[in-house]
Amino acid sequence: MWVFGYGSLVWKVDFKYECKLVGYLKGYLRRFYQHSIDHRGVPEKPGRVVTLIPSNDPDSSVWGVAYKINEEDIEQVTTHLDYREKNGYSKKTVTFHPKDPSWQPFELTLYVAMKDNESYAGAASIGDLAKQVLSCSGPSGSNKEYVYNLAEAMRQLAPGVEDEHLFSLEAAVRKLDPDMRKNS
């Protein structure tokens, strides 16, 4: 079994895996369209985390990490991820394209928040998203930390790949973040 990480699973892997591959999915866009009431926010003040939305451009890509789960760990990892991604995410099978040219594309499992889930927040301006992110925190930490960690991880994993939505939001949050202004 393979699982694709495109949000916190990119840098916060809390399950056993056999190996990992950097690569991408085609036909999707990464967007901060999902509310988080259990990790980066609380029910009274939900944070924003990423989901994938279908793109009108079939060549659009979302970079991330595929994790191969050992046969003996599949049940435990699946139970763990089902719980971790319980706030509106469902499983889908998609084709993964490894960065390493010695690998062929293959099918894997993706946790994605569909528009019909109760925590789907939908589109908002980058400015509004930044204000929401900056003001939210939950059991897994601050929402801004999620944005900063994801942006940094994507720069390291896929140098030169421009994720306009992610990097624009990161810049807007940094501009508003009093901790960033103190350090500059």
CATH code of 97's domain: 3.10.490.10
pLDDT at 127: 97
* Separation CA 43–CA 87 (nearest Å): 11
Question: 3-state DSSP call for residue 19?
Answer: strand
If pLDDT is split at 50, 70 and 90, which confidence band does 75 have? Answer: very high
Proportion of the chain above pLDDT 70, given as a percent: 98
pLDDT at 182: 62
Give the pLDDT mean for 62-85. Answer: 92
Burial of 98 (0-12, 13-18, 19+ CB in 10 A): middle
State which residues form the domain around 175: 2-183
User: CA nearest 173: which of 154, 140, 150?
Assistant: 150
pLDDT at 181: 62
pLDDT at 88: 75
If pLDDT is split at 50, 70 and 90, which confidence band does 87 have? Answer: confident
pLDDT tens readout for residues 31-54 = 999 999 989 999 999 999 999 999
The residues carrying an active-site annotation are 85
- The upper half-sphere exposure of residue 30, i.e. CA atoms within 13 Å in the direction of its Cβ, equals 29
How many domains in the chain?
1
Give the pLDDT mean for 20-24. Answer: 97
pLDDT at 183: 59
Question: 3-state DSSP call for residue 85?
Answer: coil
User: CA nearest 47: which of 168, 127, 140, 153?
Assistant: 140
pLDDT tens readout for residues 111-123 = 888 888 889 999 9
The structure tokens 């490894």 sit at 98
